[in-house]
Chains A and B, each alone.
Chain A
Amino acid sequence: MSLADYPLVRHWIGTDGDRLVIRTGKVDIGQRISSALARIAHEELSLPLERIEVAPVTTAGLDEGITSGSLSIEHSGSALRAAAATLRAHVTDLAVARSGGTPKDWSWQDGTLTRPGLNRPLPVLALIAEADPDLAADPTLAPQPPAATAPHMRGISDLVTGRYTFLPDLDLPGMRHARVLRPPHARATLEALDDSAAEKLADRDIRLIRDGSFLALAGPDEWAVTKALATLAAACTWDTPPLPEDDVFARLTAETARRFPVTGGVPAEGPVRAPLEDTLTKARFERPYLLHAALAPSAALAEWDGAALRIRSHSQGIHALRDSIATSLDLPADAVEITHHPNAGCYGHNGADDAALDAALIARAIPGTPILLKYTRADEHGWEPFAPAMALDLAARLVNGQIEAIDAEVFSDTHRGRPRAGANDAGPRRLLSNRFRDPAWPAPEAAPNMNRHGGMHRNLDPAYTIPEKRLIKNLVAGLPHRTSALRCLGNTTNIFGLESLMDMLAEEAGQDPFAFRRVHLDDPRSIAVLDRLEALARDTPRAMGHGIAFAQYKNAMTRTAVAVDIDLTDASEIRLRRAIVVADAGRVIDPEGLAAQLEGGFLQGASIALHEEITWDRGGITSRDWDSYPVLRFDNVPEITVEIIADPGNPPAGAGEATPGPAIAAIANALCDATGLRMFRTPFTPDALTRAALAG
């Protein structure tokens, strides 16, 4: 899509004279895309990395959609590679025209072009500045071989010295710090506000901004504003109907769902077949609502000059956000400009977009003043768009050691809550504070994601060869919480279930987990990944429990096999001892960055498996800090071995989402190996293990 929309070399690459400037529509969300892009340009154009700059990503620049789905390298990376390779050939021709020889006489080195017999090498950047502006990028050119220089993470020196500026660190002259005061929960509305509150706050140089039930404070002193939230809260009377407390898993059924048969990863409108018969092995797998829980609460900086809004946001989709904010404020789209600025890693649609609207609402009330809005930890934990609770019903028919048929029905609320264009103002209605303004923009009804492996059905289709499959997506509405995209979408639950089932079936078939999986795989690259894992695992000392899992992300991207060794303490706590990750992500651009994504994904999956669960009662969300929503910490990080099967002949596949699903499943399988307990719902807390043991 990227090259189709932006076909010219100059769309992707330019020069400011001193440096090469790369343009991209993909943003850094902790996945190091800018480091990988710089490396591509470095490989193709032989320029030192310090002379390669990645231009700020703004709504005035390239629109590559949302930065998500592990597609940054496939989209932006492939386009940039084509542009750079084309530019290399073109610049070589310019060198020939200027100083003779034939193209193959010229060699590229460290920012210069030279050929035998030439006294003065030609500077690459000067030739690039003369390049034909209408040059179209040719995606068929062969890439240069991988660079020998050590990969370098952009910004690492600034990070370790504290000089790196994250969005919450921005500071502009005359800037005001802002906070919001949220209602007790999503269904509450502001009934009354004590009139004297605004005066009391004004005495402390703090402005109160109100629009319906949306409340915010802004002032010059950040701590004074933070403290003033308590004053404001005391002045509010809320109408607070109880949040529904019924069991959400009991509502994840076909009864109220919109149902879609899924074939080859693609859902369709149409009749849903009756369940398969003679399926003897059945199991239901579940996961609760989850948080993204970025380490930095979301933030945004906005300034309104009376006619236009300029916003800095860490949103993954600045173009769609720009349109949604413009509609929210009844402004033309070109009156809103959003520039991406990094904040902490986000792992999907977190509070970034909501924060941008909030900053805009406050900025518009205080013209000519930069507004830096930050959420508190409780705001982020309590109000970010949650990853939906999910259930997966599985049934399989095993004949002579082979799976003859599988029936898989997945149940979930939508994973698609990003503010993007759609019918009935779906964009603005997905921004949180619009629901509290007067007039309010009520939450939109979720539209099913019908894309291949697009939503809850991501990896619902087993990557294994199974003669008969019945796969159903069930979109359930009317559940208690606002939901959206978390890294991997439905994959984490589907792979948790399917790979647990594979172990259950392997045991029934009397086969070991490796052999049983291989029997059902045709793809040589998948088998190679499993074989390598088996070889590595054989040489690793075992703990109390050992488990494996395999997946190919979206059945089309990175192939990943994971082995985990765990111990169980006397207090039923899972201790992660060792993990092995083997992955084939095609051509590797930044091996360090790839390994980091695989390790990081494994640990996020482990955190989901062991700890993560949103809780609430009738009064609101109760998991609003790191004690009530615990995550994996250093003291339970296993020794992790990552092995990448590099395949330079194949296109690169993103790997940011390859490991969480297999990590969860491998831990569940290791737990079963250690204790005989098959766990069907995350997280595997000591309480959950004890309950399962007593029930079993």
Chain B
Amino acid sequence: MALTLSINGEPREIEADPETPLAYVLRNELGLKGTKIGCGLEQCGACMILADGAPFPSCAAPAASFAGKEITTIEGIASRPAGARVQAAFIAETAAQCGYCTAGLVVACTALLEANPSPTEDEAKSALAPNLCRCGAHPRVLRALARAAT
């Protein structure tokens, strides 16, 4: 039986082998290339998506394991009020250097603000710890998060 996933509010029929990690399905079958692959090991956060509102790496877990969950990718994040705020705040704070970690961080920040609209600095730092940034844009990302918080 074909796999159907709910992605950014729409049901999508998936042709790929259901064991394919979700990020590969998003990028190669659905053309949603905003989700990046950095390690394939769930260690860097570049591939972060929301599954029922919770942040989740998509580079290793099979697409089939997301069946029945509402998946939000970076392409759909603006439809969530917190997501749109986070995107605007990242632009206002120039919260990127090379930008490869940015999509995953926008997703992670959105998830944090939905769960905790006014996180403390320590809460913010520990919530973003799964996301690596190698350029050192961390201070700007934290400022963007603070700006997007209510």
Contact = CB atoms under 8 A, between A and B. Distances in A.
Interface in B29-48: 31-41, 43-44, 46
Interface string A584-616: 000000001000100111111000000000000
Interface string A304-324: 000000000000000000000
B140 A377 contact: no
A631 B136 CA distance: 11
A344 B74 CA distance: 18
Contact of A156 (B24, B40, B75, B94): B94
A563 to B, nearest CB: 16
Contacts of A168: 36-37
Contacts of B103: 159-160, 162
Contact of A295 (B17, B28, B46, B142): B46
Interface in B114-130: 124-126, 128-129
B20 interface: yes
B140 A596 contact: yes
A387 to B, nearest CB: 14
B35 A162 contact: yes
B125 A637 contact: yes
A157 B87 CA distance: 8
Given A160-B106, A345-B100, A592-B94, A601 B136 contact: yes
B138 A603 contact: yes
A633 interface: yes
Nearest to A293: B134
Contact of A345 (B73, B78, B98): B98
Contacts of A224: 17
Interface residues of A, number: 56
B134 A377 contact: no
A224 B20 CA distance: 8
A388 B64 CA distance: 44
Contacts of A169: 27, 33, 36
Nearest to A380: B39
A297 B37 CA distance: 9
B41 A626 contact: yes
Contact of A222 (B24, B73, B135, B138): B24
Contact of A223 (B24, B91, B96): B24
Contacts of B21: 223
B142 A637 contact: yes
Contacts of B32: 162
A56 B38 CA distance: 25
Contacts of A599: 136-140
A221 B102 contact: no
A601 B39 CA distance: 23
Contacts of B139: 599, 637, 639-640
A187 to B, nearest CB: 26
Given A156-B96, A342-B98, A377-B40, A294 B20 contact: no
Interface string A218-252: 00011110100000000000000000000000000
A626 B129 CA distance: 13
Nearest to A346: B98
Given A603-B138, A637-B125, A637-B139, A596 B97 contact: yes
A625 interface: yes
Contact of A162 (B33, B39, B97, B129): B33
Interface in A261-300: 293-297
A164 B133 CA distance: 17
B20 A296 contact: no
Given A156-B96, A165-B33, A30 B135 contact: yes
A295 B134 contact: yes
A605 to B, nearest CB: 9
A637 B74 CA distance: 25
A635 B75 contact: no
Contacts of A400: none
A625 B128 CA distance: 19
B13 to A, nearest CB: 17
A447 B100 CA distance: 35
A377 B91 contact: no
Contacts of A153: 94, 96
Contacts of B86: 160
A171 interface: yes
Contacts of A296: 36-38, 46, 100
B43 to A, nearest CB: 4
Most buried by B among A30, A32, A295, A344: A295
A223 B132 contact: no
Nearest to B31: A171
B40 A295 contact: no
Given A377-B40, A633-B129, A637-B125, A222 B96 contact: no
Interface string A40-63: 000000000000000000000000
A155 interface: yes
Nearest to A342: B98
A520 interface: no
Given A156-B94, A166-B100, A294-B134, A223 B16 contact: yes
Contacts of A293: 134
B128 A634 contact: yes
A347 B134 CA distance: 9
Contact of A625 (B16, B41, B97, B141): B41
A376 B40 contact: yes
Interface in A340-363: 342-345, 347
Contacts of B135: 30, 345, 600, 604
A162 B133 contact: no
Contact of B138 (A29, A157, A171, A637): A637
4 nearest CB pairs, A to B: A162-B34, A600-B136, A30-B98, A603-B136
Interface of B: 16-17, 20-21, 24, 27-28, 31-41, 43-44, 46, 73-75, 78, 86-87, 90-91, 94, 96-103, 106, 124-126, 128-129, 131-142
18 contacts: A159-B96, A161-B75, A161-B78, A162-B33, A162-B103, A221-B28, A224-B17, A295-B98, A296-B37, A599-B140, A600-B135, A600-B136, A604-B135, A626-B39, A633-B132, A636-B125, A637-B139, A637-B142
